[in-house]
Structures are given as C-alpha cells and as structure tokens.
Amino acid sequence: MPTTKERVAVVAGLRTPFLKIATGYRTVPSRTLSSYLVSELVARSGVDATDIEKLVFGQVVMSPDAPNLAREVVMGAGLPVSTDAYSVSRACASSYQSAADIAMNIQGGVISTGIAGGCDVMSQPPISFNKKMTEAMVKMSYHKGSKLAAFKGIKLKDLMPAQPAIKEPSSDLTMGQAAEKMAKENGISREDQDALAHRSHTNASLAWEQGWFADQIMSVIMQPDYQPISKDNIFRSDSVLEKYAKLKPVFDRENGSVTAATSSPLTDGASAVLLMQESKVKALGLTPLGYITSVAFAAIDPNWQMLMGPSFATPKALAQAGMKLSDIDLIDIHEAFAAQVLSNTQAFASKSFAQERLNQQDAIGEVDFDKLNVSGSSISLGHPFAATGTRQLTQMLYDLKRLGKQHGLITACAAGGLGAAMILEAA
C-alpha cells in the first residue's frame, strides 16, 4: 500500500444548529439532516463533489431503516454514487473515529480527499419491547398458522414499549451515574460543577453574541413552514450562577451533586469536516482551516471511572505530536458532565495519577481554564453523540484562527471507558 507523510488538512468544517431533543428536528431522520449538512459543506468548501472519494459517518443510536448512514448521506447529498461510504460507532467519540479513518486513508495514500462526520437525532430513537413481546412479534412474522396464536400469554403490560435509556451494559451504569460516582470518588464539589456549567453557558452566549459561529453553523430549512433554523436552542444567555444551587441532583437524589444543569442535554444535530492531502490543497489553491497533527484513542475499565478517557488519550496524542500540554494554546474537553471535566483536569495535574495510572513520571500538566472551552462546549451547546467530535474539531480551528493561536487539543470521553484526543494546528 502506498504511504505519504503529508499532513492532513482540514479544508472546511460545518454543523447544523444543535437542538434540544423533541424540538425542531423531531420529525427529521438522521440521514436527511446529515445529507443537508454534507451538501452544504461541499458547496461552501469550493471542492468539486467528484473529488470526494470516501465518506465516513458516525452514529450512536442507529436507525433500523438506514443501518449504513454514510451511504445514505452520499446518495442524499448528491455526491457521486462511486463515493465509498461506511458508518462507524465509537459511542461519543464516533466522529473522532470517522475523522481518524479519513485521515489514515489520506496518509496511507488510499485517497486524497474525504468527508468525516457524525449525526444523532435522539428525538427518533428505535423503540423496543420487552423480550416476551419481541419473541411474539417475530413468531407472528414467521408462524404458518394463526397469527393471533403467537400472542398467546401476552398481557397489557407487555404492549408497553421500553423507555429509551443510555446505559453501559458492562458496568450497569448510566453515564450520569458514572459521573456521580466520579464526583464522589474524586471529591468534586457541587459548587465547582455549577461554576463550570455557568461558565460554559456564558462562553457559548458570548460566542453567539459576537458572531463567532457564523461560518461554522448552517441554517436548516424545515418543512412544512420552511422557516430556517439558524441557532442552537440549548445555551442560556441569562445564566446566573446562584440559580444553579437551587436545582436538585438527578442521579442520586439524596446524596448526589450532579444536576440536569451540570449535564449535557439529549440533543439532535450533525457535524462534518472535509479533509484533504496537503499537496492537493496547494494544487487547488485552497486555504485550509488547519491540520490534524495527531490522533489517539484509549480504553479503560468502565467499572473504575468510566469517563476518564481524556486523561489516558491525551498523553498519547501529545507524545505522537512531540508536544507537552504547555505547548497547547487552547483546549476543548467535551463536557459530558461538569464532574467528568473536573475529574479529568484534576487527573491532568496529578503527578501521582501519572505515575500510578499512566506509568510516567510527570503529570500531563495543569489546565489553564482561560484556555478551556473558550466558546462553550457540550453542556451549553449540546451533545448529539456522534456529532460532538467533528463539532469540537471545527470549533477549535476557528477559535485558534480568531485568537491568533497555533495549537489546540480536543478530547472526549465515551461509553465503555473509551477516550479520544486530537492535536490540531491552525493554518
């Protein structure tokens, strides 16, 4: 297989507005929202659609009618039918994986141009029934005799669909329960969690007020009234720190500290980036947003502290780039929960954590909060699971450009004890 040491350039990045579950996108399938996005991304990039050789898209909550979302996006966005496409799922790091796959294909000399992204529309989760009802429905479909006989013994309670839930099978914990566990074990205070969430909303509100998202977010025109959706509907421009203290914990109501306000909300949305071999960028006379310097993934025991993946993936990404945390100008740590962000920043600064968990002598480094999530992150912007990684990637490169900085770190935790990290460089 041919290989190349050329850098992977990020030519363009774009996302839809991120919306609360059961609001503006409640009737829009993931494949449709993603197709709108990719079509607009290509149009804005100045790259001919025939140059797109591969599209990789992430999705966490898969639609039964479109199991390979990526291929449906190729068709729906009007890309050439010859464009190769496949879908990936790495929980909340799914679009890290799609971006890594396209980057590796470019560095491997397999392609020169590709699109990576992700989408989740949590408003349309697949609805399941209990085991007894499921078996009856399958039996009805294949039973040669009376269809009604398949439902013998079915009771009224069996007709109720199971409520959608996001639970980690290996640890039997929801993400929120895992965050609560981490808050207790790491001594993360309620006050610090509230302050981080308030800061996220304040930064996101400022970003919208100042127009920092103008080139990063498209308008989505929705039927039947064709009114454009042009803005996230999750961030609070009137966030007041004192109000956070009035909210009750949601995952441990008696002794907990994690509230709805310090958790990322269930969100609908899509994001994507167009990646290209550096020599082709130059040949086409394009100006990229920046470059992917390194990508790293990590896996830890989810029964320990499930959402600590950033503290394991980040040192790997830094080592690949030949850098230290002190070399990084801006950081975006995906805000699944305030407790999870603070647990990871605590670990970053801990020498004992580095020695005991990472088998290295020195701490990863102290996180300067003035460099962290400067235009908001998942608590305030939302978290459509598979779309968060490429949202972070695009947002980071725009923030670096706006502030005249060079190097950025993006990192995320994911279900199953997974973590992802990327080092980015501004053009």
Catalytic residue positions, numbered = 92, 383, 413
Helix axes 94-107, 388-403, angle to 10 degrees: 70
Helix H or strand E encompassing 395: helix 388-403
Encoding tokens for residue 78?
């009007």
Determine the Cα–Cα distance for residues 190 and 236; give it in Å rounded to an integer.
20
Closest CA to 380 of 300, 267, 289: 267
Q: Quick one: how far is CA 309 from the chain centroid?
A: 14
Three-point CA angle 244, 250, 251, nearest 5°: 130
Altogether, the residues listed in the chain come to a count of 427
Determine the Cα–Cα distance for residues 268 and 266; give it in Å rounded to an integer.
7
Encoding tokens for residue 275?
């990646």
For residue 183, give Cα distances in angstroms to 76, 110, 325: 43, 44, 24
Beta-bridge partners for 408:
330, 424
Determine the Cα–Cα distance for residues 351 and 300; give it in Å rounded to an integer.
19
Residues 6 or more apart whose CB falls under 8 angstroms from that of 303 comprise 170, 171
Closest CA to 298 of 287, 306, 290: 306
Please report, as a single letter, which amino acid is at residue 44: R
